[in-house]
Amino acid sequence: MFCAVIVAAGSSRRAGFDKLAAPLAGVPVLRRSVDAFVAAGCAAVVVVCPEERWQAVGLADASFAVPVLRVDGGAERQDSVEAGLNALPAGTRWVAVHDGARPLITAEGVQACLAAAQQTGAAACAHPIVDTLKRADAAGCTLPEKVSRDCLWGMETPQIFDVALLRRAYSCVSEQGLVVTDEVSAMESIGVATHLVQGGPNLKITLPGDLELAELIWSKRG
């Protein structure tokens, strides 16, 4: 059984507004993410978010073909992910962890990542870095250092795993007192490599301009 945990417990401080409740082509950003995982064939979706956001985006009154439920998040992202994992239905074999602020993920992108995970146990959407990279000092001035972009990837979500492997990884993170910002980093704590999958335009809404770009991409898809 394939299920999803959508992490949407953040405060949206950098955006200056609740980016997860903001409309993307008339539908809240968070709802777009939920819809993609329902369309991808998930047996259940766990949304980790405050009750106020759950109400604000209309999920409390929405009807889906599969169970979509809410749980509270924690102090750190990894705490929110663990809360979502604890709410998964019995019998879950594969779990996708997704940032609710990535509303451009498609059902096809989810399924491609799932197929890779089923081959290797661990897969994540990502994109190869194509920009020239520079390191700067605290004042924002470039340093005379060549930073190679060879084999560098920008991580995205969903990140999909055998649920037993991911639970073991988070147990290790907790035991060692580590702080991780994504599940690939958690898997590294137990020595498991993650296969990377390019899933198409999949930006994260962080700043107001990101929402405008997402609107443009969405309109081109339509």
Give the whole-angstrom CA distance, residue 69 versus residue 84.
10
pTM given for the model: 0.94
pLDDT (tens digit per residue) in 5-38: 999 997 655 556 689 999 999 999 999 999 999 9
Task: Please give the structure tokens belonging to residue 162.
Answer: 């055998």
Amino acid found at 134: K
**Alpha helices, DSSP H, located in the chain:** 29-39, 51-56, 77-86, 107-120, 163-176, 183-188, 208-221
* C-beta of residue 169 within 8 angstroms of C-beta of residue 137: no
Contact 113, 125 (CB under 8 A): yes
How far, in Å, CA of 220 to CA of 14, rounded?
Answer: 27
The string of pLDDT tens digits covering residues 88-113 is 999 999 999 999 999 999 999 999 99
